[in-house]
């Protein structure tokens, strides 16, 4: 997104006096297509807008079907689709061109998405608080991401914006009241007991992310408030276990922690098994046991042995020398499967 996507196509910044009329027109045009949209909220002292964000719940429609309906909008002079965002060069009265971004949302994420994209970079700042405690705050709500060398899993912990704000001591009623200025946003974020200088000093961002933050007025104001200077010094990425311990500082609900712990243990066990497959099941070992197997038959046996390793994991995980381990494995396989046939 960003309000300059159609800068070379004649898109203009929208003055405030034309804002509400355009919002009304967009909603009417979308309604003709059977679509409901919700506009994100904005700072009340903002005089003009490079783009307008509308949240579009998919409901029971397929993503591609919704994108086709957007393509067919009469005022749409140009449409660019990027994942769950469809940007439209919208022609208003008098040949005025404005960038409209339609953010597609799963129904269960609607409230979180509307809140997340409202009020400038407010939730970017709040997201940094959660990030410093091992969590991710985004348009889907509050997440814990498990990342290993083979697995990425996104665990949705909460989708209710009010409860998410309350986790870090923020009054959601203040969000409902709205904000006039960037300064009001900064003051609101500072009411969280977790909004400390070291939270915003974290330099685990990429160079691109640091450059982006330093160019945005909200981040500039916050860094000035806390006297922060970002450097190129990088903070090592935290492990899943380290992030789990950090999130316990904020999340006191044992059911949520147990959910994360359960998923993490399962993935760790899966990774451990895969590591053992690579160590103890080289193709050369299987071929030495069943030299007559070739091609698909060899592959089928390999899959069978992987399933067997799940059931008889202790046989494969004994802490003994690899050479001895493979002797035991060979003995177990021959005893279990006997003479292989093609």
pLDDT given at position 300: 82
Cα(248)–Cα(268) distance, rounded to whole angstroms?
20
Q: What percent of the chain has pLDDT over 70?
A: 82
Q: How far is CA 153 from CA 147, 149, 264, 282, in A?
A: 7, 12, 9, 28
The whole-number pLDDT of residue 320 equals 47
**pLDDT the model gives residue 2:** 61
Task: Examine the pLDDT at 24 and tell me if it is beyond 90.
Answer: yes
Instruction: Please tell me the predicted confidence (pLDDT) of residue 244.
Output: 97
Residue 292 is predicted with a pLDDT of 82
Q: What is the pLDDT of residues 319-340, one digit of tens each?
A: 445 556 667 667 767 777 765 4
β partners of residue 136: 143
Asked whether 228 and 257 are in contact (CB, 8 A), the reply is no
**What would the pLDDT profile of 176-222 be if each residue is shown by its tens digit?**
999 999 999 999 999 999 998 888 876 555 566 666 666 677 777 87
Any residues with CB less than 8 A from the CB of 85 and at least 6 apart, and which? 1, 101, 102, 103, 104
Give the pLDDT of residue 130.
96
CATH numeric code, 7-105: 3.30.460.10
Task: Identify whether the C-beta of residue 329 lies closer than 8 Å to the C-beta of residue 280.
Answer: yes
Residue 274 has pLDDT above 50, yes or no: yes
* CA nearest to 107, candidates 140, 138, 66, 82: 140
pLDDT digits (tens, 9 = 90+) for 29-40: 999 999 999 999
Q: How many CB atoms lie within 10 A of CB 276?
A: 16
Domain map (residue ranges) of the chain: 7-105, 121-249, 260-337
Give pTM, 2 decimals.
0.80
Query: Whole-angstrom Cα distance, residue 162 to residue 280?
Result: 50
Predicted pLDDT of residue 342: 39
Structure-block tokens of residue 301: 């046996």
């Amino acid at each position: 997104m960003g309000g300059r996507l159609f800068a070379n196509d004649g898109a203009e910044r929208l003055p405030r006096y034309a804002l509400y009329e355009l919002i009304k027109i967009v909603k009417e045009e979308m309604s003709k297509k059977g679509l409901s949209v919700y506009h994100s909220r904005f700072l009340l002292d903002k005089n003009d807008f490079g783009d307008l964000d509308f949240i579009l719940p998919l409901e029971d429609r397929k993503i591609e079907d919704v994108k086709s309906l957007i393509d067919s909008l009469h005022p749409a002079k140009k449409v660019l689709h990027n994942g769950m965002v469809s940007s439209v060069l919208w022609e208003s009265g008098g040949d005025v061109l404005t960038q409209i971004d339609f953010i597609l949302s799963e129904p269960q994420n609607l409230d979180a998405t509307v809140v997340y994209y409202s009020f400038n970079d407010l939730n970017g700042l709040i997201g940094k608080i959660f990030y410093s405690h091992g969590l991710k705050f985004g348009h889907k709500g509050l997440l814990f991401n498990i990342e290993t060398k083979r697995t990425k899993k996104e665990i949705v912990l909460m989708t209710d914006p009010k409860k998410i704000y309350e986790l870090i001591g923020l009054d959601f009623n203040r969000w409902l009241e709205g904000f006039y200025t960037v300064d009001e946003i900064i003051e609101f974020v500072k009411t969280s007991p977790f909004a400390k200088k070291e939270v915003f000093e974290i330099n685990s961002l990429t160079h691109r992310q640091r450059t982006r933050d330093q160019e945005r007025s909200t981040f500039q104001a916050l860094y000035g408030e806390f006297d922060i200077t970002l450097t190129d010094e990088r903070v090592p990425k935290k492990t899943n276990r380290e992030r789990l311990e950090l999130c316990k500082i904020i999340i006191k609900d044992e059911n949520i922690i147990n959910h994360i712990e359960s998923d993490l243990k399962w993935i760790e066990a899966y990774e451990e098994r895969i590591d053992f497959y690579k160590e103890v099941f080289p193709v050369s070992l299987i071929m030495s046991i069943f030299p007559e197997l070739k091609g698909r038959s060899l592959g089928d046996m390999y899959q069978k042995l992987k399933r067997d390793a799940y059931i008889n994991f202790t046989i494969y995980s004994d802490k003994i020398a690899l050479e001895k381990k493979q002797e035991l494995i060979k003995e177990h396989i021959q005893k279990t499967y006997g003479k292989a046939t093609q």
